[in-house]
């Protein structure tokens, strides 16, 4: 069967590859696939169903080749939506997930509820910068300094690009800087809030829980910890947080429901109180928070 219009062609591709698409792109719809292709080819919505394949064959096949390989749509378009905004992403950073938005919402509400001002915030393992930049745009016109750090210089390049793209989305009273650092090692100042989405998947024990597409395409440095190093890695992290967090300061991190209760027990060995596990949108424990004691 031959096709002349793009709308017919992509519809046929979707129907013929439903099983593969469902396995690699859970929940994908034909309209989503069309939207991604439209953006990739820079085609206007009004033209989509009428445009001729022959005029765009090269770029269409480039897009479908990436889809056939299972490449995440966000890496194909270099765009991911997170907390009301679109962020630039590539293979050097994790794709921001909707559940992580809860940390932004929870932390911004905490700042407003406690009427905090003139504060310093650290975003550890910033990746694309989505958490830091979303928080900057949500906390209002208060004096704030946000230090976003990552061990990966390539991830920081992505975060800096997003800062440029979002420079009008947060008030001038909020200052954002980026630092290359393994956890908080290179950060000399102290903070009122430390927020983090660190690597929290055990490389061997948890692998069966990881979607194949995530394992194949997303940066392992931001995903995995070696099983035998897991506890010591977090003990080192929590000790650094304890040292760099001001008395009464908030610490909140994302983690795996498989290990958060255990990490809560480890965090309790340090100077923290009000320890609490917070659930995500699927009613699973996803976040751990605590307040630094005096």
Is residue 291 classed exposed, middle or buried when 0-12, 13-18 and 19+ CB atoms within 10 A define those classes? middle
Residue 285 lies in a domain: yes
The per-residue pLDDT for 1 is: 46
CATH code where residue 157 lies: 3.40.50.150
pLDDT above 90: percentage of residues in the chain: 85
Residue 254 lies in a domain: yes
Would you state the structure tokens that stand for residue 29, as one six-digit string? 């719809």
Task: Note whether 26 and 118 are same-domain residues.
Answer: no
Task: Note whether 96 and 228 are same-domain residues.
Answer: yes
The total domain count for the chain is: 2
Task: Note whether 63 and 204 are same-domain residues.
Answer: no
The per-residue pLDDT for 50 is: 54
How far apart are alpha carbons 286 and 148 in whole angstroms? 21
Task: Note whether 61 and 97 are same-domain residues.
Answer: no
- Which position has the higher pLDDT, 208 or 52? 208
| pLDDT digit string, tens, across residues 60-101 | 889 999 999 999 999 999 999 999 899 999 999 999 999 999
- Domain boundary (20, 44, 70) is at 70
The per-residue pLDDT for 263 is: 98
287 strand-pairing partners: 254, 278
Residue 92 lies in a domain: yes
Residue 76 lies in a domain: no
How far apart are alpha carbons 108 and 189 in whole angstroms? 21
Residue 200 lies in a domain: yes
Residue 271 lies in a domain: yes
- Which position has the higher pLDDT, 151 or 4? 151
Q: Is 69 helix (H, G, I), strand (E, B) or coil?
A: coil
- Whether 294 has a pLDDT exceeding 90, the answer reads no
pLDDT above 70: percentage of residues in the chain: 94
Taking residue 274's Cβ as centre, other Cβ atoms within 10 Å add up to 10
- Whether 256 has a pLDDT exceeding 60, the answer reads yes
Residue 40 lies in a domain: yes
Task: Note whether 91 and 64 are same-domain residues.
Answer: no
Task: Note whether 186 and 247 are same-domain residues.
Answer: yes
Task: Note whether 120 and 170 are same-domain residues.
Answer: yes
Task: Note whether 105 and 246 are same-domain residues.
Answer: yes
The per-residue pLDDT for 38 is: 81
The per-residue pLDDT for 194 is: 98
| pLDDT digit string, tens, across residues 16-61 | 999 999 999 999 999 999 888 888 877 555 455 555 556 667 788 8
Task: Note whether 65 and 85 are same-domain residues.
Answer: no
How far apart are alpha carbons 121 and 223 in whole angstroms? 23
- Domain boundary (70, 100, 120) is at 70
| pLDDT digit string, tens, across residues 165-206 | 999 999 999 999 999 999 999 999 999 999 999 999 999 999
Q: Which domain holds residue 149?
A: 81-292
Task: Note whether 228 and 268 are same-domain residues.
Answer: yes
Q: Are strands 285-292 and 245-254 parallel, antiparallel or unpaired?
A: antiparallel
Rounded to the nearest integer, the mean pLDDT of the chain is: 92
Task: Note whether 150 and 61 are same-domain residues.
Answer: no
Task: Note whether 133 and 60 are same-domain residues.
Answer: no
- Domain boundary (32, 48, 70) is at 70
Average pLDDT (140-160) is: 97
- Whether 229 has a pLDDT exceeding 50, the answer reads yes
The per-residue pLDDT for 55 is: 60
Residue 265 lies in a domain: yes
Alpha helices in 114-259 (DSSP H): 130-138, 153-165, 212-217, 230-244
């Amino acid at each position: 069967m031959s096709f002349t219009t793009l709308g017919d062609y992509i519809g046929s591709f979707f129907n013929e590859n439903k099983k593969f698409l469902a396995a690699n792109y859970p929940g994908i719809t034909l309209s989503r696939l069309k939207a991604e292709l439209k953006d990739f080819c820079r085609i206007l919505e009004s033209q989509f169903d009428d445009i001729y394949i022959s005029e765009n064959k090269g770029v269409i096949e480039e897009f479908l080749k990436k889809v056939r390989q299972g490449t995440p749509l966000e890496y194909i378009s270099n765009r991911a939506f997170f907390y009301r905004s679109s962020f630039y992403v590539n293979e050097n950073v994790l794709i921001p997930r909707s559940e992580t938005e809860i940390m932004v919402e929870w932390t911004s509400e905490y700042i407003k509820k406690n009427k905090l001002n003139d504060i310093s915030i650290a975003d550890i393992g910033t990746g694309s910068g989505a958490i830091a930049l979303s928080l900057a745009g949500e906390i209002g016109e208060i004096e704030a300094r946000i230090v976003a750090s990552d061990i990966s210089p390539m991830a920081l390049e992505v975060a800096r690009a997003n800062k440029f793209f979002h420079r009008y989305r947060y008030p001038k009273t909020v200052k954002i800087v980026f630092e290359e650092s393994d956890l908080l090692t290179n950060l000399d100042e102290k903070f009122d809030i430390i927020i983090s989405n660190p690597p929290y998947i055990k490389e061997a024990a948890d692998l069966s829980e990881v979607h194949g597409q995530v394992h194949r395409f997303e940066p392992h440095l931001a995903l995995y910890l070696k099983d035998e190093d897991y506890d010591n890695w977090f003990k080192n992290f929590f000790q650094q947080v304890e040292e760099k967090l001001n008395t009464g300061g908030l610490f909140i991190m994302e983690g795996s429901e498989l290990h958060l209760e255990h990490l809560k027990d480890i965090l309790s060995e340090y100077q923290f109180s009000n320890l609490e596990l917070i659930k995500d949108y699927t009613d699973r424990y996803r976040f751990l928070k605590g307040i630094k004691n005096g």
